[in-house]
Amino acid sequence: MSGGAARGHDEEPRAGAPHLPTPSSTRSEEHTAAHTLRGDAAERPGRDTSQARGEDGLGRDVPQGRGDEGAEDGSVHRVHHVPGDHCATQGDHRAQGHHRAEASDSAEASNGAEGNDSAEAGDSAEGGPGGEEADEADTLPLPVGRREGVRRAAVVIGGLTLSALVLAAGAYGLLRAYLSPDDPEGGGAVAAGAQAVRRITVPEGLRLDEALRRISKQAGVPLADLRAVDSRQVGLPDYARGLEGFLFPATYEMGPGTTARGLLAAMVERFVTVADRLDLEERAARMDLTPLEAVTVASIVQAEPGRPADYPKIARVIYNRLGRDLPLRIDSTALYALGKRTSRLSPGETRVGSPYNTYTRRGLPPGPISNPGVRALHAALHPAKGDWYWFVTTNPAHRITKFTDKESEFVRYREELNENLGTN
């Protein structure tokens, strides 16, 4: 079979604008009227006050008039401005502390007064008595003015703007090392004065030595230092025999001071994370494979030039042949033994003596022949269903792979490959 190369209330204002009549008497007259009201309340103890009481915004009972007639008959409402968020409306006085009634019917006030002309301070409106002693003056909070609302909004907006600026400055500080006018993608180039952060990209399907050479070039670490790293000190799984197959293909960022061992350990750690997500060890056991054998199958699948959609089929061909104790006869294994990258093997090269050459020995190679990515690992653990025993990548340039369960078709696919490669 063919081989190939490596992929948030105010209460809603009550109906009507706030009613704020101006006082029409002196303070001493108001005091006399207040005492008159007390006498009047004492002489009429049986008067029902329940109908004249309302509730303020907090659920407390407050004295309440029956309409707007009092305002028209010269009633006096004395209001001291106390900042707050409540509204004083007609017929409904709501206060922060005590709520008092200072107005009464003028006829009732005249009958209750003894030599005291309090009509000027009385209320001619048909409002009910308060039922509570009135203080010298009620205090009713006025609504917050428009200017105050604008001021508060400005404070909130200003605070949000300042917070956004601080966050933006912090984000820039974190990302500065990754950005420069010449490298908006955050690659190898960095802005002047920033510490260098290098990006190392390991493609899928590279062999160990190919991956180390690429890492050395991109990281600026001597190749000899990478090769000298003790594989027992980088966190390999217990079943691994070496680094081959366990340097997970991905893009890594190398900060200042990163060592050769630190780089390789990060790649092995990524492999372990992906293997755990795939339940590699458990899935392999269900397929009567060791974890190492599952990684080895994935490495062969990755090394073949097929498309990712073909990976589960390639895995199935491998398992079908192993199930019948047939030699795999896969080109990528012999090419690994030879240390070559080519689309075509000569008859002599298929006979190379190596435990990795599946032309000359049955079963799987002793270990991985490339560093597989997540799709190849998934395919090895979830092969397609089919009876194929052969596959040929008949057009390596377009990665077209054909599968068959007939040897005669396999022979024909090989001839098609040879024609596309321009060989006999």
C-alpha–C-alpha distance, residues 347 and 392, integer Å: 17
C-alpha–C-alpha distance, residues 399 and 305, integer Å: 6
- Considering the entire predicted model, what is its pTM? 0.57
pLDDT score for 85? 42
pLDDT band at 145 (very low <50, low <70, confident <90, very high): low
pLDDT in tens, 10-62: 444 444 444 444 444 444 444 444 444 444 444 444 444 434 344 444 444 44
C-alpha–C-alpha distance, residues 107 and 195, integer Å: 91
pLDDT in tens, 260-315: 999 999 999 999 999 999 999 999 999 999 999 999 999 999 999 989 999 999 99
| Residue boundaries of the structural domains of the chain | 14-46+54-62+77-156, 186-277, 288-424
Residue 352 has pLDDT above 80, yes or no: yes
Helices (H), 48-190: 69-72, 106-112, 146-175
pLDDT score for 423? 67
CB 381 within 8 A of CB 283: yes
C-alpha–C-alpha distance, residues 311 and 371, integer Å: 15
C-alpha–C-alpha distance, residues 333 and 369, integer Å: 7
218: three-class secondary structure by DSSP? helix
Asked whether the CA dihedral 311, 315, 316, 317 is positive or negative, the reply is positive
Provide the CA 101 distance to its chain's centre, in angstroms: 58
